[in-house]
Chains A and B, each alone.
Chain A
Amino acid sequence: MTYDAGHYDVIVIGAGHAGVEAGLASARMGAKTLMLTLNLDMIAFMPCNPSIGGPAKGIVVREIDALGGAMAKVIDKTHIQMRMLNTGKGPAVQALRAQADKPLYIKEMKNIIENEENLTIRQGMVNELIVEDGVCKGVITESKAAYSAETVIITTGTFMRGKVLMGDLEYESGPNNQRVSVKLSEHLEDLGFELTRFKTGTPPRVNSHTIDYSKTEIQPGDEKPQSFSYETTEYITDQIPCWLTYTNEFTHEIINENLSLSAMYSGMKRGTGPRYCPSIEDKIVRFNDKPRHQIFLEPEGRDTEEVYVQGLSTSLPESIQHDMVRSVEGLENAEIMRAGYAIEYDAVVPTQLWPTLETKRIAGLYTAGQINGTSGYEEAAAQGIMAGINAAAKVLGKDPVILDRSQAYIGVLIDDLVTKGTNEPYRLLTSRAEYRLLLRHDNADLRLSETANELGLITDARYQTFVEKKRLVEEEKKRLNKLIIKPSEAINQVMEEAGATPLKEAVKAYDLLKRPELSYEILENMIEPNPDLSNEMKEQVGIQIKYEGYIKKAYEQVSRMLKMEDKKIPDDIDYDAIGGIATEAKEKLKKVRPLSVGQASRISGVNPADVSILLVYIEQGNIARVAN
């Protein structure tokens, strides 16, 4: 018998990276929210690399922050080093990455959760959902607590029927020997969800005292203080370096000789692993001409001696892992503290979701994070915040929030998942975004602050700061467009110092900034400075002017895309009633059930003619519906 454990607007199952953002967003929007998780000491635990951000992912963290999420602020407070990547490249691809202090990250995140109004967190294992007439009404835990709710979000990550693999060792487990979630997975299957089996892996951790750092190269953080959050004002100055070393022919020999002992190479049929996170076994097999591979040694925190051996992800037996690690320069005497392993788990086929992350099968039920077939903390957090927003919006009677592909990497991620599905753990890459020039690190606030403000996810003060920033940037652009710079000795000296050809004729400051050699900082030496502008604003002005042509071109594409997004398709349209659409396209459309003609056009197998026919069909207004 279950007992009545109370009623909530939104229940979030799981307190990983998806779960915490979901819970926080939902609570902040004013929904009474409960989070249930297996272990309160493992909130927002990082089972793999101690690092947040990087290309595409770092921009997602900025977006989460612009939407009022927690990830950016927590990593700003708990990192051991931070670096801006791709500084030599264009503004669209620059991204921050931080090395995290893992235990501190957990502590900090737990603190935020505990102190959030409207949010309750409790330890517990959810075994099943309460579903009535195709609507999710609550959850039941293994301790027989029955919670009722308006909406439920599942964010159970890699725990679903998780299986740890190391050589021939194999046991049911969540990541890092946490309890596995079996019943819930079976329950989802019983409810009719299509599940798939994915896998991922992690490298060994070694004791820092046993590493000979003198044989490795130091990898320090940037000196310049930086932050993920737009609101961070205090910066960590005492950074800790990472270290670089390499595998060698001996390492490869050890691996090759023992390949058949690797869990993933033993011939057993296994879940699909991500190509972008190959195990060291994969790398040796697939790229056997490479004489060496990079190994980054990354401290897992300030108050621990554990060091993450990035590059050696493996499911070889423990005994071989010792040899393998010790074959690497600098690690000759290294002591493994935790061995690497692979983990196999159930994921929900994400084409079963609406772009709000609500499941099509059961109303009021949402899934977010690695359970949807993604991989990565940032990808999980991004879905978490959107599921939290939408689950709360549904309860509060607000419109659903769907970010489009030109608005955010988050939009790209979710659209890809629900429209195309994925046949391997999905990771964000900058190349997945067709409008990446618009989706920059520097302008996440410009893209998302309005939405965040409307939803009540950010404070008024923060919103006002943003409005002011935007205004100042616009005014400065106008000013530069009116400002004429005439050639003079002083001006041309600045030009020459910058390596630019001297001015011959008067030119607008605006146009001068477009010269490849000139930046706003240099231009400032030729004009009356604007004391109101922060560095961040100057950067913004510079980017917007310099890349104006490309940005404009991208917006033209976007407006074409958005026109098709505006052509809505009723969610109960009966595709069988539409003549003319090719059979393959029809099957795909019936499966994905796109909400707009734009989304339909991105489904592989749906051709332009099918899209045209669909458009005509919708336009004529008399749309056949499937009976419920």
Chain B
Amino acid sequence: METDTITAISTPIGEGAIAIVRLSGPEAISITEQIYKGKSLREADSHTIHYGKILDPQTQEVAEEVMVTLMRGPKTFTREDVVEINCHGGMVSVNRVLEIILSKGARLAEPGEFTKRAFLNGRIDLSQAEAVMDLIRAKTDKAMSVALKQMDGRLSGLIQTLRQNLLETVAHVEVNIDYPEYDDVEEMSKEVMREKTKEVHREIENLLEVAKQGKILREGLATAIIGRPNVGKSSLMNALVQENKAIVTEIPGTTRDIIEEYVNVRGVPLRLVDTAGIRETEDIVEKIGVERSRKVLKESDLILFVLNHNEELSEEDEKLFEAIQGLEYIVIINKTDLEQKLDLEKVSELSEGNPIVTTSLLEEAGIDKLEQAIAETFFSGEIDTGDLTYVSNIRHIQLLKQAKEALEESMQGLDMEMPLDIVQIDVTRTWEFLGEIIGDTASDSLIDQLFSQFCLGK
């Protein structure tokens, strides 16, 4: 039996109103109990459902109203104690609940780990090993590709800088240890160490702050809907979200603010951004020029470019084509229920082989094809949904938090006047946690650093 408790979101993201956070392991019940207000779970019978509230451990505010399913081992999927928390409030609140659980000592499950445990604990027949192995592989690969897509260049750049900073510090301590007599390497002082740890600590805190606002650690592929006014951008967004959040009107330029919406299209998590109407699009392109607007658009992972079937291709449309050249986009020719005025050949030519989908959002036609195109663009085909996308974000946050804690322990060590070679143990851990975020866990870098930074030898 494993000794730690794992957790993950175990429902497809973005789909439906309910999402489940699952815990499995010896602490599953006690961890839930700590953050849950409702009937005592410790005394409750196995396989029962309870209504209650999840509290934010810091503020004691209600984070989410939930239904909790309690299942004691061994009659569970993993043969361990299992708790499932059903949340209603969509992904933001599910993520919140997951984060709270993680903060109480559960560990984020690796891809396929629930199944792996079920297997290792004898719940799944030995003959199913093959299937379990395939599942681990598939889930890992998908998590990796999603994580890669989600890894913001700025984030990985920042993390690399922080790691290098720590690495140099650690290498310095190491050199003092392994080459104590080399006088051209000055002794690392506690003051310098304190400064360094503080500096990195501050940066990590900033990152976590930013992550909270969802600016860097995104929760989906940024998808921009662009197009001239009144082509049907908001309608498209609504169709995808299937609820009327953005306001649909007949007056051009209704959408003033950028509206964001999280949806899950066949397993691809999207953060849809309905750009403001044409005037601003036009402004963007004209005021700041194609190059700069491209830059803005480049921050999107996917662009949905809407054209009007009922209107001729305008100069603005062509400018937009120019602006998105080389980026990942799908052309949507909307309003096919109306008379064709658009030069389809020209559109096809301008699209450089990117997918073109025709829709009539009014008649709800073509949305299926569009969803298919979106899925294909990102995963070259159908993918099934998984808990992975959000997890990989939460994973980042979780690792950042662990890095921060390790760093705090090193600072405590300094306060307790521990020798630097001991303080350094926690600094190295920090460095390793940060490395996991960007998938760099090679331990040889320290030794490389040692010999490139210092002149050592006989």
Contact = CB atoms under 8 A, between A and B. Distances in A.
Contacts of B422: 90, 92, 437, 547, 550
B174 A89 contact: no
B419 to A, nearest CB: 3
A459 B130 CA distance: 52
Nearest to A554: B425
A612 interface: yes
Given A293-B184, A516-B416, A612 B457 contact: no
Contacts of A3: none
Interface residues of B, number: 47
Contacts of B362: none
A49 B178 contact: no
A619 B119 contact: yes
A95 to B, nearest CB: 9
Given A276-B451, A283-B455, A429-B174, A294 B419 contact: no
Interface in B13-35: none
A418 interface: no
Contacts of B451: 275-276
Contacts of A581: 137
B421 A90 contact: yes
Interface in B102-136: 110-113, 116, 119-120, 126-127, 129-130, 132-134, 136
A613 B182 contact: no
B277 to A, nearest CB: 46
B180 A55 contact: yes
A68 interface: no
A85 B133 CA distance: 50
Contacts of A579: 130, 133-134, 137
Contacts of A313: 457-458
Contact of A93 (B421, B455, B456, B458): B421
Mostly, the B contact residues are helix
A276 B442 CA distance: 20
A429 B119 CA distance: 41
Contact of A294 (B170, B182, B420): B182
Nearest to A282: B457
Nearest to B187: A88
A609 B140 contact: yes
A517 B416 CA distance: 10
A619 B419 contact: no
B25 to A, nearest CB: 15
Contacts of B183: 294
B332 to A, nearest CB: 37
Given A92-B421, A516-B416, A617 B177 contact: no
A40 to B, nearest CB: 28
Interface string B423-458: 001000000000000000010101100110001111
Interface in A603-627: 604, 607-609, 612-613, 615-617, 619-622
A256 interface: no
B419 A290 contact: no
B418 interface: yes
A431 B455 contact: no
Contacts of B446: 431
B363 interface: no
Identify the interface centre among A86, A293, A578, A616: most chain B CB within 10 Å of its CB.
A616
A409 to B, nearest CB: 13
Nearest to B143: A609
Interface in A265-313: 275-279, 282-283, 286-287, 290, 292-294, 296, 310-311, 313
B417 interface: yes
B271 to A, nearest CB: 27
Contact of A437 (B120, B130, B425): B425
B126 A613 contact: no
Contact of B421 (A89, A429, A432): A89
A123 B164 CA distance: 53
Interface string B159-184: 00000000000100010111111111
A432 to B, nearest CB: 7
A547 B130 CA distance: 46
Given A430-B174, A609-B111, A612-B110, A278 B421 contact: no
Nearest to A296: B181
A46 interface: no
Contacts of B442: 604
Interface in A155-208: 203
A220 interface: no
B116 A286 contact: no
Contacts of B116: 612, 615-616
A225 B174 CA distance: 27
B177 A89 contact: yes
A437 B177 CA distance: 13
Contact of B458 (A48, A90, A615): A48
A276 B129 contact: no
Contacts of B133: 578-580, 613, 616-617
A56 interface: yes
Nearest to B130: A579
Contacts of B179: 55
Nearest to A622: B126
Nearest to A86: B180
Contact of A56 (B178, B181, B425): B178
19 contacts: A55-B177, A89-B419, A92-B422, A283-B455, A294-B181, A294-B183, A294-B184, A296-B181, A432-B447, A547-B422, A580-B134, A580-B137, A612-B113, A612-B116, A612-B136, A616-B120, A616-B133, A619-B129, A620-B127
In the A-B complex, the 5 residue pairs with the smallest Cβ-Cβ separation, listed nearest first, are A516-B417, A90-B419, A620-B129, A609-B140, A275-B451
Given A203-B458, A516-B416, 4 more contacts: A89-B421, A287-B455, A430-B177, A517-B417
Interface of A: 48-49, 55-56, 85-86, 88-90, 92-93, 203, 275-279, 282-283, 286-287, 290, 292-294, 296, 310-311, 313, 429-432, 436-437, 516-517, 547, 550, 554, 578-581, 604, 607-609, 612-613, 615-617, 619-622
